[in-house]
Amino acid sequence: MEYQTTDRWVDLAQAQMQRGNLPAATDMLKRALSDDPDHVNAHSVLSLCLIAAKRLFAAETEAGMALAIEPHSEMAHMAMAQVRMAQRRFTDADGHIEHLLEVDPNYDHYHRLSALRRELVGDYDGARAAAEHAVHLDPEEPENLTLLARLARTEGRIDEAARLCAEALTLEPEHSEALVEMGHVALRRGEVEGAREHVIWALRNDPSDTFALQLMASIKARQSRLLGLYWRYAVWMGELGAGRSIAVLVAAFIVYRLLEEFLGNRGEEQLKTIVVLGWYAVCAYSWFGPALFQRALNKEMGRIELHDDY
């Protein structure tokens, strides 16, 4: 009976996590562990809860305890994989993900986890292949479709992203991640009001949803002339990918140097000075832009309030 009660606390905690109520989930998991200190799933789910709360040291401790109790626990390996990913220790995460895929190669969640790991390091081809396999295994799981949609949007395939989001929302109309992703798609299309509607709907489901709040702040920043310029630049560079982005920057520098030398040889000192100053301004904007953009997002996120008329 005690074991069944502990399992119920874990189930209730997972339900609270899905609603974004991390404090309640944490309390339930602590209560479960007070009844059964060696309950592997309770330690594992608590680790996931602590990751969401950005308490990575505590999350690592809980995942480590789960693995110490049951070294072959899939839930424990899944928790530790996500801890390592949050710590950006991707090589360490690989071992846990590979273990999960060996144990159950037909479980879509593990392929989705593999896709997330590849996405974090910019391996979009690998991430897309893993996400597509997850969709193949379970085409009616909204999270699989939403992940594939996000990857499509990142690579500039906006229509495909919209179609995948629509499929996810057909399966689960209030799925927060799909609502947020559809909001991003709308924003990329310049449909600011459409993006706002989707993010507000997501926030009504979970007012503390970090990704929804970030999208709301991005919508506000998109409407700013200065921040909107950087937003468009970041989106464009993101679509190019790491390799092509570097190539563009190198090409831009070469063009700048050739133009500077050409104007110097022709005695166009005034134009040469304008080009040099313009290049320095672009470099300074690229250097300080991310910090200014993040500061503005944080400021806007602090201002966001939801009212009943939303």
Domain count, the chain: 3
pLDDT digits 0-9 by tens, 68-86: 999 999 999 999 999 999 9
Q: Is residue 108 part of a domain?
A: no
The better pLDDT of the pair 227, 23 is held by: 23
* In a shared domain, residues 212 and 140: yes
Residue 149: closest CA among 99, 183, 108: 183
Structure-token pair, residue 34? 């007070």
Q: Is residue 310 part of a domain?
A: no
* In a shared domain, residues 211 and 267: no
* In a shared domain, residues 167 and 263: no
* In a shared domain, residues 195 and 271: no
* In a shared domain, residues 123 and 200: yes
In this prediction, residue 277 carries a pLDDT of 75
* In a shared domain, residues 82 and 128: no
Q: Is residue 202 part of a domain?
A: yes
> Which of 20-24, 126-130, 261-265 tops mean pLDDT?
126-130
Tell which of 197, 219, 241 closes a domain.
219
* In a shared domain, residues 118 and 98: no
Residue 24's alpha-carbon distances to 49, 204, 205, 239, 294, in angstroms, are 10, 18, 16, 39, 30
In this prediction, residue 284 carries a pLDDT of 65
Q: Is residue 237 part of a domain?
A: yes
SS3 percent helix, strand, coil of the chain, rounded to 5, is 80, 0, 20
* In a shared domain, residues 162 and 252: no
Single-letter amino acid, residue 196? R
CA dihedral defined by 107, 108, 111, 115, rounded to 10 degrees?
-160
Tell which of 180, 202, 219 closes a domain.
219
* Residue 74, domain extent: 1-103
* In a shared domain, residues 211 and 232: no
In this prediction, residue 230 carries a pLDDT of 59
* In a shared domain, residues 142 and 199: yes
In this prediction, residue 220 carries a pLDDT of 72
Q: Is residue 119 part of a domain?
A: yes
* In a shared domain, residues 136 and 76: no
CATH number of the domain encompassing residue 98: 1.25.40.10
Tell which of 84, 103, 122 closes a domain.
103
Mean pLDDT computed over every residue of the chain:
82
CA-CA distance, 69 to 36, in Å (whole number)?
Answer: 12
Residue 46: closest CA among 64, 71, 29, 69: 29
Query: Is residue 208 predicted with pLDDT exceeding 90?
Result: no
* In a shared domain, residues 249 and 164: no
Query: Is residue 231 predicted with pLDDT exceeding 90?
Result: no
Query: Is residue 1 predicted with pLDDT exceeding 50?
Result: no
Contact 84, 93 (CB under 8 A): yes
